[in-house]
A and B are shown apart, each in its own frame.
Chain A
């Protein structure tokens, strides 16, 4: 019975998302959703390697940026159709992830995190200094969108991508790969001992993760119409993905969704406090990490347990003939 509700809910949600842009007065919501989808996609993608496999990559902006720049290269410079450009961007991202993954995924936890962080900064500085490869150099470049493109088009594109990302997340979690990743997350050595090919699994996870993130990086150009090293590479972008995932709940399917939605909402609210917003933002994150690292899902879980416990106690006391 529970499962049926979930399906129903998901379908309704999807239908609503598809239909919203047609409604009157939807402008604000569409824009919010657009950005929410982006962060949801990104954190879902990150979740695959960070939440499921436990490999905290703090440099995922590398894939995001690669996706963005490759898209610009193919779409803007080579005049290739946007859909194709997005796909190519995704492929490049994946290739990059393999190149990065093979050396770095051997590293343990903390080192991997810091290593990827370093990598994302390297990319940023490199992009700033190599306008031959990264079009636009430091200034970045503004991309002209195809004739007649409106934000509605981007909305559907993004919606698509989000669905794909979540679906991928779902499939990975419930597959053999997901099981292996969980084993790796819990105890790498033990997993190895059980016959799991740790490195291969990690790389596959990274490939999937980077594909999603790369595709997102490419797609977002359709509504920001701008790319520059500072806006796509660097620690800030990487952290956003991680934090959104954290907010919602690491290693779950719905976590990134809730986290992303909340994250975007929070950002919007904080625009009203120009001087304090980062302060508030940092404090929220700090509190979250200290008290409930499993994010909203974690909190929800706790509540569930509390309710069950209460129920249990009630039943118990009845049984004792109170």
Chain B
């Protein structure tokens, strides 16, 4: 048989197979949905009947960015989660009522390499193959958002650390009873800041109208920030004027054009929502252009207190205001002990992500305990109803509302000389009042 004829035969056979495959696929698709095989094998057994043997560990998962562009945050979260888990495991684990004993936590932390497709893949893996009972937060909204779809689909309780509403709410309704966020939304911060500024305008400390240059990260985070600002602009007519309103790409390095625009527009307040590396570049260029010192108000949203920032700019970082949930100036004993614990296990400076990571894990573990079971739905319910006291955030307690969101005040702090920061908002926790830059 000539080789031509042979290849022709092969060709026909392949076509036939393709058709069969297509037919099978079509049939499967037409069929009523096949129930996915109930998770058969587990490395550690999970109870499937009424009088079960207790599983060896409680699997809790998290997919964070340990490498890649977002690695900075991932490292913090991973370390914080481990700290929280180790603490409990030292005592033997979480007490689960259903089995009447303490079971140790097994943290499964995976690296998504700051890759959004991979993060989806890994979370799915955690939910379906590793069969975690709950998920801890990923790092940052761009990753949490895709992860949350998987959590919703797989019905796994997921306690996120997002500050933009998009992840939890869609069309005014809560997306899923399985999603929670332990952080207050950033639009609240924007609003709080505007309130603070308004007070100062009333007091005559700041000019009226305050000309705001609003720069925001091109992410839902940034959009929420922007929304908060605009809401207050509308609420207080005559107080504020937004003269520049520009988005910025994550990873941008040159801000000169933007700064020039600001100057050209006659801005005198800079309100930025941006990440650390970009903030550093922006501030540097701002200082070079002499803008630092000209504007009475400079804020980088939730950033501004990082050690790197302070060390780098020294007195040129003074009087910058920023929002946070965590300040070592709050007189809470749990903060002090946390800082001590952290210093023992990590060289990284204590930033708020460390605290957030730690509490994220701790709250979840408490919810598991409150649920008294390793059933995902029970844990979800427990999380919904839980009230955790002595958290490190202002107000010292946290619980979740009908949207899965937490409520406690944002702290607005201001950098002052000699490296300190002072709390200037909310009034009940404030140590001092706002000082405009340049005075």
Q: Interface on A for B, CB 8 Å cutoff? A: 3, 7, 10-11, 14, 18, 21, 24-28, 31, 35, 125, 128-129, 137-140, 142, 147-153, 156-157, 159-160, 163-164, 167, 170-171, 174, 224-226, 228, 230-232, 236-237, 271, 274-275, 277-278
A125-B249, A142-B149, A228-B142 known; 5 other A-B pairs, CB under 8 Å? A25-B40, A27-B128, A163-B21, A224-B121, A225-B150
Question: How far in angstroms is the closest Cβ of chain B from A263?
Answer: 13
B113 CB within 8 Å of chain A: yes
Which 9 pairs across A and B sit closest by C-beta, in order of nearness?
Answer: A148-B33, A231-B116, A156-B25, A274-B111, A231-B117, A142-B149, A25-B40, A226-B146, A139-B220
Q: Can you show 21 pairs from A to B with CB atoms below 8 A apart? A: A18-B24, A25-B37, A25-B41, A27-B40, A31-B128, A125-B249, A129-B218, A129-B249, A139-B166, A151-B36, A152-B34, A152-B36, A153-B29, A160-B22, A167-B15, A167-B18, A225-B149, A225-B150, A231-B120, A275-B111, A277-B111
Question: Do A3 and B129 touch across chains, with their CB atoms under 8 A apart?
Answer: no
Question: Do A139 and B67 touch across chains, with their CB atoms under 8 A apart?
Answer: no
Question: Do B25 and A157 touch across chains, with their CB atoms under 8 A apart?
Answer: yes
- Chain A residues whose C-beta falls within 8 Å of the C-beta of B49 in the assembled complex: none
Instruction: Report the bound CA distance from A237 to B121 in whole Å.
Output: 14
Question: How far in angstroms is the closest Cβ of chain B from A307?
Answer: 24
Question: Do B153 and A163 touch across chains, with their CB atoms under 8 A apart?
Answer: no
Question: Do B166 and A11 touch across chains, with their CB atoms under 8 A apart?
Answer: no
- Chain A residues whose C-beta falls within 8 Å of the C-beta of B41 in the assembled complex: 25, 28
Question: Do A128 and B249 touch across chains, with their CB atoms under 8 A apart?
Answer: yes
Instruction: Report the bound CA distance from A311 to B150 in whole Å.
Output: 56
Question: How far in angstroms is the closest Cβ of chain B from A124?
Answer: 10
Q: Which of B5-13, B207-215, B367-375, B423-431 is near enough to bind chain A? A: B5-13
Other-chain residue from A10, A21, A174, A274 in contact with B109 (beta carbon distance below 8 A)? A274
Instruction: Report the bound CA distance from A157 to B24 in whole Å.
Output: 10
Question: How far in angstroms is the closest Cβ of chain B from A69?
Answer: 14
Question: Do A27 and B37 touch across chains, with their CB atoms under 8 A apart?
Answer: yes
- Chain A residues whose C-beta falls within 8 Å of the C-beta of B148 in the assembled complex: 142
Instruction: Report the bound CA distance from A148 to B394 in whole Å.
Output: 44
Instruction: Report the bound CA distance from A25 to B150 in whole Å.
Output: 22
- Chain B residues whose C-beta falls within 8 Å of the C-beta of A147 in the assembled complex: 33
Contact of A163 with B18 at beta-carbon distance under 8 Å, contacts A157-B25, A226-B146 already known: yes
* Binary flags per residue of B188-206, CB closer than 8 Å to A gives 1, else 0: 0000000000000000000
Q: Give A137's nearest chain B residue, CB to CB.
A: B218
Q: Give A281's nearest chain B residue, CB to CB.
A: B113
Which residues 70-122 of B sit at the A interface, judged by CB distance below 8 A?
Answer: 78, 109-111, 113, 115-117, 120-122
Contact of A3 with B218 at beta-carbon distance under 8 Å, contacts A27-B129, A139-B166 already known: no
Which residues 16-73 of B sit at the A interface, judged by CB distance below 8 A?
Answer: 17-18, 20-22, 24-25, 28-29, 32-37, 39-41, 66-67
Instruction: Report the bound CA distance from A320 to B116 in whole Å.
Output: 65
- Chain B residues whose C-beta falls within 8 Å of the C-beta of A129 in the assembled complex: 218, 247, 249
B125 CB within 8 Å of chain A: yes
Question: Do B39 and A139 touch across chains, with their CB atoms under 8 A apart?
Answer: no
Q: Give B220's nearest chain A residue, CB to CB.
A: A139
Q: Interface on B for A, CB 8 Å cutoff? A: 6-7, 10-11, 13-15, 17-18, 20-22, 24-25, 28-29, 32-37, 39-41, 66-67, 78, 109-111, 113, 115-117, 120-122, 124-125, 128-129, 141-142, 145-146, 148-150, 153, 166, 218-220, 247, 249
Question: Do B142 and A159 touch across chains, with their CB atoms under 8 A apart?
Answer: no
Residue with the highest number of chain B CB atoms closer than 10 Å, among A7, A31, A226: A226
Question: How far in angstroms is the closest Cβ of chain A from B14?
Answer: 5
Question: How far in angstroms is the closest Cβ of chain A from B17?
Answer: 5
Q: Give B109's nearest chain A residue, CB to CB.
A: A274
Instruction: Report the bound CA distance from A148 to B35 in whole Å.
Output: 9
Contact of A171 with B22 at beta-carbon distance under 8 Å, contacts A139-B145, A225-B153 already known: no
- Chain B residues whose C-beta falls within 8 Å of the C-beta of A28 in the assembled complex: 41, 129
Question: Do A140 and B40 touch across chains, with their CB atoms under 8 A apart?
Answer: no
Question: Do A167 and B32 touch across chains, with their CB atoms under 8 A apart?
Answer: no
Question: Do A152 and B28 touch across chains, with their CB atoms under 8 A apart?
Answer: yes
Question: Do A170 and B14 touch across chains, with their CB atoms under 8 A apart?
Answer: yes
Question: Do B40 and A150 touch across chains, with their CB atoms under 8 A apart?
Answer: no
- Chain A residues whose C-beta falls within 8 Å of the C-beta of B15 in the assembled complex: 167
Instruction: Report the bound CA distance from A153 to B36 in whole Å.
Output: 10
Q: Give B119's nearest chain A residue, CB to CB.
A: A231
Other-chain residue from B7, B109, B141 in contact with A139 (beta carbon distance below 8 A)? B141
- Chain B residues whose C-beta falls within 8 Å of the C-beta of A31 in the assembled complex: 124-125, 128-129
Question: Do B24 and A228 touch across chains, with their CB atoms under 8 A apart?
Answer: no
Q: Give A220's nearest chain B residue, CB to CB.
A: B117
Question: Do A275 and B66 touch across chains, with their CB atoms under 8 A apart?
Answer: yes
- Chain A residues whose C-beta falls within 8 Å of the C-beta of B67 in the assembled complex: 274-275, 277-278
- Chain A residues whose C-beta falls within 8 Å of the C-beta of B219 in the assembled complex: 138-139
- Chain B residues whose C-beta falls within 8 Å of the C-beta of A153 in the assembled complex: 28-29
Instruction: Report the bound CA distance from A156 to B25 in whole Å.
Output: 5
Question: How far in angstroms is the closest Cβ of chain A from B45?
Answer: 14
- Chain B residues whose C-beta falls within 8 Å of the C-beta of A174 in the assembled complex: 7
- Chain B residues whose C-beta falls within 8 Å of the C-beta of A230 in the assembled complex: 115-116, 142
Q: Give A6's nearest chain B residue, CB to CB.
A: B10
Contact of A167 with B14 at beta-carbon distance under 8 Å, contacts A27-B129, A148-B33 already known: yes
Contact of A3 with B111 at beta-carbon distance under 8 Å, contacts A160-B25, A164-B18, A271-B122 already known: no
Question: How far in angstroms is the closest Cβ of chain A from B77?
Answer: 12
Question: Do A156 and B146 touch across chains, with their CB atoms under 8 A apart?
Answer: no
Other-chain residue from A128, A226, A275 in contact with B218 (beta carbon distance below 8 A)? A128
Question: Do A149 and B116 touch across chains, with their CB atoms under 8 A apart?
Answer: no
Question: Do A156 and B24 touch across chains, with their CB atoms under 8 A apart?
Answer: yes
Question: Do B17 and A14 touch across chains, with their CB atoms under 8 A apart?
Answer: yes
Q: Give A232's nearest chain B residue, CB to CB.
A: B117
Other-chain residue from A150, A171, A274 in contact with B11 (beta carbon distance below 8 A)? A171
Question: Do A274 and B66 touch across chains, with their CB atoms under 8 A apart?
Answer: yes
- Chain A residues whose C-beta falls within 8 Å of the C-beta of B14 in the assembled complex: 10, 167, 170
Instruction: Report the bound CA distance from A50 to B40 in whole Å.
Output: 41
Question: How far in angstroms is the closest Cβ of chain B from A60?
Answer: 15
